[in-house]
Amino acid sequence: MSKVQQSELGKLIKYGWYFLLVGLIVNYIYRMVFHATPIDKIIVGSDMEGYYQYLFHFFVKDWELFDRMPWTIPYGEGKTLSVFTCGLAILWSPFFLIAHLISIFCGLQADGKTNLYYGFILVAGIVYTYIGLVFLYKLLRRYFNHKTSLWSTSLFFLATNVFFYSVLLGAGMSHVYSFTMISIYLFFSHRFAEKPSLKNLILLGIPFAIAVLIRPTNIISGIYLFMMGVSNWQTLKDRFQFWLKNYWAILALLAIGIIVFIPQMAYWHYVTGKFLVYSYQEYGFPNWKLPKFGIVLFGKYNGWLTYTPIVIFALTGLFIQLWRKQMNSLGTLLILIFATYVNASWWVPTFSAAVGQRAMIDFLPFLALPLAFVVNGIRSLSRPQRIGFGIIIGIFIFYNIQFGFRYDSGMWWDSPMTWTKFWTTLKF
């Protein structure tokens, strides 16, 4: 490693420590000042416990109990099956083990169910979010200057619900981890497009496979790699010829996916006798014929554009790039269309007690280049125009952070939506 690379790595580590420290402080203020919420709420209950129980049963409980985990649904006589895949548990495992070893050596309760374990899951959420933001910044630096890249990356954290799902109460959910894995996948996809080597393929394939293991719908993200550089019929033909010539890359991606999925397939086989299982069983996509696009995009409870308005800027940039045939915009558009359709077809398109349209966090990295395009354009405007856009963006940031701090799932979901309830979440 060169001295320049060592210096850059040192800076990233230093800023990472700052990011972690500030994140922990913000979380403490949120939990103890605004809501008096114990830290175990990061894990206990709902989807979070469904992900966490893999670690609890693998490292603490008896392996023979894997077919009788509690946060599951019945499967056959005397058995239960987790609807959740184990991708998140794999990413959590280093942090869980640190907490476990500390508990053992310090003579603390080492049963996987203490605040020390839950605290390290919070640390995991903040750390992985930082890693995702770093790779998003590195991707943007390939096309934009430092200031544009830094401002754009910051907006993904401060002006979207990535903020809530990383440093407030959502670190136990899967979304920021998908965000990070897809950010890494995007960065190395651009590298692979420039240099189609096995090394770059592995570096993009592993995070992509983990993202799919975290949330199987993330497989939609694969469109990006296969559509790199496609803007018309001719470039589509050229890309098809590229993949025919480099068929080895497709086989390698399949091999990477199979290897990453081995733990999940082992669990499925242990419970059901099958290596591939649709674990949600009766839950699915009943709205696929009449998808609820309005709920996903403009819903009064958690519509994507309703509660993440900075996306409007990013979509504006995307449509301009489509017109100019730039930056793989066609592939990005297809991914967003499919992602919106899949979410709108889900049996509960509001995604229950969500803070904004949480299922779209996974796909936010694809809007990095379009958003940076708009930010770069704003920076080239006259001073009064920059101030005007700056005020709008500042309002978006305040709107996002204030909503995150004031959000209460009971108040938000257990009664009809009213303007009074809406403004309550934005008051000082």
| Among 179, 213, 208, 219, CA closest to 359 | 179
CA 231 from chain center: how many Å? 27
- 325: pLDDT strictly greater than 90: yes
| Structure confidence at residue 3 (pLDDT) | 67
- 419: pLDDT strictly greater than 90: no
* pLDDT band (50, 70, 90) for residue 421: confident
276-311 residue pLDDT tens? 999 888 888 999 999 999 999 999 989 999 999 999
Task: Determine the Cα–Cα distance for residues 295 and 314; give it in Å rounded to an integer.
Answer: 20
- 428: pLDDT strictly greater than 80: no
Task: Determine the Cα–Cα distance for residues 218 and 342; give it in Å rounded to an integer.
Answer: 10
- 163 φ/ψ angles, rounded to the nearest 5 degrees: -60, -50
- Does the predicted model carry a pTM greater than 0.85? yes
| Structure confidence at residue 1 (pLDDT) | 63
| Among 319, 339, 313, CA closest to 397 | 313
Rounded average pLDDT over 120-136: 98
CA 127 from chain center: how many Å? 13
Q: 155 versus 406: which is more confidently predicted?
A: 155
- The answer to whether 184 and 210 are in contact (CB under 8 A) is no
| Structure confidence at residue 2 (pLDDT) | 66
Rounded average pLDDT over 319-329: 95
* pLDDT band (50, 70, 90) for residue 415: confident
54-84 residue pLDDT tens? 999 999 988 888 999 988 999 878 899 999 9
Q: Which of 7-11, 135-139, 358-362 has the lowest mean pLDDT?
A: 7-11
83-116 residue pLDDT tens? 999 999 999 999 999 999 999 999 999 999 999 9
- 8: pLDDT strictly greater than 90: no
- 9: pLDDT strictly greater than 90: no
| Structure confidence at residue 291 (pLDDT) | 96
Q: What percent of the chain has pLDDT over 90?
A: 85
Spatial neighbors of 170 by CB under 8 A, at least 6 apart, are: 125, 161, 164, 176, 355, 358
| Structure confidence at residue 201 (pLDDT) | 97
Rounded average pLDDT over 219-242: 95
157-171 residue pLDDT tens? 999 999 999 999 999
Residue 74, classed as helix, strand or coil, is strand
Number of domains in the chain: 1
| Structure confidence at residue 139 (pLDDT) | 97
How many CA atoms lie within 13 Å of 275's alpha carbon, on the beta-carbon side?
A: 4
- Mean pLDDT estimate for the chain: 94
| Structure confidence at residue 340 (pLDDT) | 98
- 216: pLDDT strictly greater than 80: yes
- The answer to whether 83 and 50 are in contact (CB under 8 A) is yes
How many CA atoms lie within 13 Å of 315's alpha carbon, on the beta-carbon side?
A: 13
Quote the domain boundaries for residue 109: 3-424
